[in-house]
Amino acid sequence: MDLDVAVVGIGRVGLPLALAFADSGLRTIGIDAKEEIVSAVQDGRMPFDEPGAEEILGRVQANGTLEVSGSVAEAARARHIVLTLGTPSFSHIEIDVGQIRSVLDDLLPHLREGHCIVLRSTIAPGTTEFVAGYLEMHRGFTVGTDLFVAHVPERIAASRFFAEISTLPCIVGGVGERSGEVAAEPFAALGARVVHTTPVEAELAKIWTNILRYTMFALPNRLMMECEQYGANVFEVIDLINRDYPRGGMKLPGMTAGTCLRKDFTFSEERSPAPGMLLAVSRVNESVPLFLLDGVKRRLPGGKLRGRKVAVLGLAFKGDTDDERDSLSFKLMRLLERELALVAAHDPHSPSSTLTLAEAVADADAIVLATNHSAWKDPAVLRRIADLASDGAVLADPWNCFGQDAVFGEAETLAGQVERPEAPAPTVA
Ligand SMILES: NC(=O)c1ccc[n+]([C@@H]2O[C@H](COP(=O)([O-])OP(=O)(O)OC[C@H]3O[C@@H](n4cnc5c(N)ncnc54)[C@H](O)[C@@H]3O)[C@@H](O)[C@H]2O)c1
């Protein structure tokens, strides 16, 4: 084995991890089935935004510690084979382990004693033991003794990879006697504090980290809907809950989604002893686009969206990222189009955004702040939106980006409550 680590699946999780291994001096290979990813990395280009990544890519290419390839068989050149493959959920509320199965099948003929398979993807409880059993059944290894299998979940938030990789505790759940110890080796090289546990505890810790967040955000989202029902202000109610109260902690509302939160709960729900609870959490978060649409519609003259221009600001699933996967902005736009509204979208980070802020907002009858980008957190932007939009345009700001403590309001009225910016005018495109 002439390499230390192979990372199979160099997407949003795998590529930063491969860069971190290579930058720590480990001889690393990154492997992906997508030709465009392999060639971008070979050309020294990041295929997506991750702060700090491009500089590290340049450095590891100069050092010669990172190779890339499209062939899974090449992974067998490394002792540690880290799988950072996608694990979507079927609509049956069941994990789809298809990418993992396919890579294991490609690897089977190449595995030798001493190899260590690390599952870095988010997986349903029992998946690590399934993988270990699959390798034992098909190749006759004894996992934990002559071949090693562990789950080492990724808990880093996108956009914070290089800040968190060496500071977050690294959970390692190894199968059998020695898998945990062997799997921890490359992660220890990154400076992370390793915490050993069982495979199923590692799996549960990861999925419940995300279930906790998904549920915590569903509560203010549900409260936002209830406040609308009673004519109450959700931001005031949340302030009343939290202010000077030691057992507060209610989060703020928003368009809660993204590729992880929207599916990781299904890995628990698929065998839940209390089925339905997490589905209800999901339904609350999934209802936010419709709630916003209805709120805007009710406030428009005549209560109709047909033929009205609606600007959707923000396509990414969360602030200051270009990641649009599983963003609720697209659901909102589909729902608006089904009301025959004229949708105009803008996102300063997005690869699929075509309109400028001015084009999207000009003469709009309604504006929805769908993503909490820092770009909007400037009173001057609110002023500009109010100036460009139609008279009486309705603004929906569920994230409270503009700090006006109003989920819905008239853009001009809200802009009037903030001080007029000193010249020069804001430079938002
Ligand atoms: N994105 C996040 O912020 C995040 C955070 C924590 C955990 N996770 C988990 O990490 C895992 C990966 O997520 P991601 O966002 O990086 O997904 P991704 O889709 O960006 O990356 C997966 C990569 O695997 C590649 N791939 C698929 N099948 C392959 C095959 N047969 N051979 C070679 N390459 C193959 C794909 O081309 C893709 O580039 C998932 O389980 C996810 O739930 C993601």
Cβ–ligand 1 contact at 103 (below 6 Å) = yes
Kind of pairing, strands 89-90 and 94-95? antiparallel
pLDDT given for residue 393 in this prediction: 98
Q: What is the mean pLDDT of residues 270-274?
A: 95
Give yes or no for a contact between 88 and 71, defined as CB atoms under 8 angstroms apart.
no
Cβ–ligand 1 contact at 99 (below 6 Å) = yes
Report percent pLDDT > 90 for the chain. Answer: 94
The atom number, within ligand 1, closest to the CA of 157 reads 3
pLDDT given for residue 12 in this prediction: 96
Residues 6+ apart with CB under 8 A from 254: 217, 220, 221, 288, 372, 398, 399
pLDDT single digits (tens) 290-331: 999 999 999 999 999 999 999 999 999 999 999 999 999 999
pLDDT given for residue 429 in this prediction: 43
Band the pLDDT of 255: cuts 50, 70, 90.
very high
CA 12–ligand 1 middle distance (angstroms): 7
Mind listing the domains of the chain with CATH numbers?
3-200 (3.40.50.720), 210-416 (3.40.50.720)
3-state helix vs strand vs coil in the chain, percent to 5: 45, 15, 40
Cβ–ligand 1 contact at 150 (below 6 Å) = no
Other Cβ atoms within 10 Å of 334 Cβ, number: 11
Per-residue pLDDT at 426 exceeds 60: no
Cβ–ligand 1 contact at 89 (below 6 Å) = no
CA distances for 227 relative to 293, 334, 409, angstroms: 16, 25, 14
pLDDT single digits (tens) 142-185: 999 999 999 999 999 988 999 999 999 999 999 999 999 999 99
Residues 6+ apart with CB under 8 A from 343: 310, 312, 333, 336, 337
CA nearest ligand 1 atom 28, residue: 99
pLDDT given for residue 420 in this prediction: 53
CA distances for 208 relative to 123, 156, 272, 282, 325, angstroms: 11, 14, 13, 14, 21
Report percent pLDDT > 70 for the chain. Answer: 97
Give yes or no for a contact between 165 and 190, defined as CB atoms under 8 angstroms apart.
yes
pLDDT single digits (tens) 115-140: 999 999 999 999 999 999 999 999 99
| Best residue for ligand 1 mutational test, from 68, 74, 85, 165 (most atoms within 8 Å of Cβ) | 85
Cα 21 to its chain centre, rounded Å, is 22
Dig out the tokens for 101 from the structure: 């199965």
Cβ–ligand 1 contact at 154 (below 6 Å) = yes
Q: What is the mean pLDDT of residues 267-291?
A: 97
Cβ–ligand 1 contact at 72 (below 6 Å) = yes
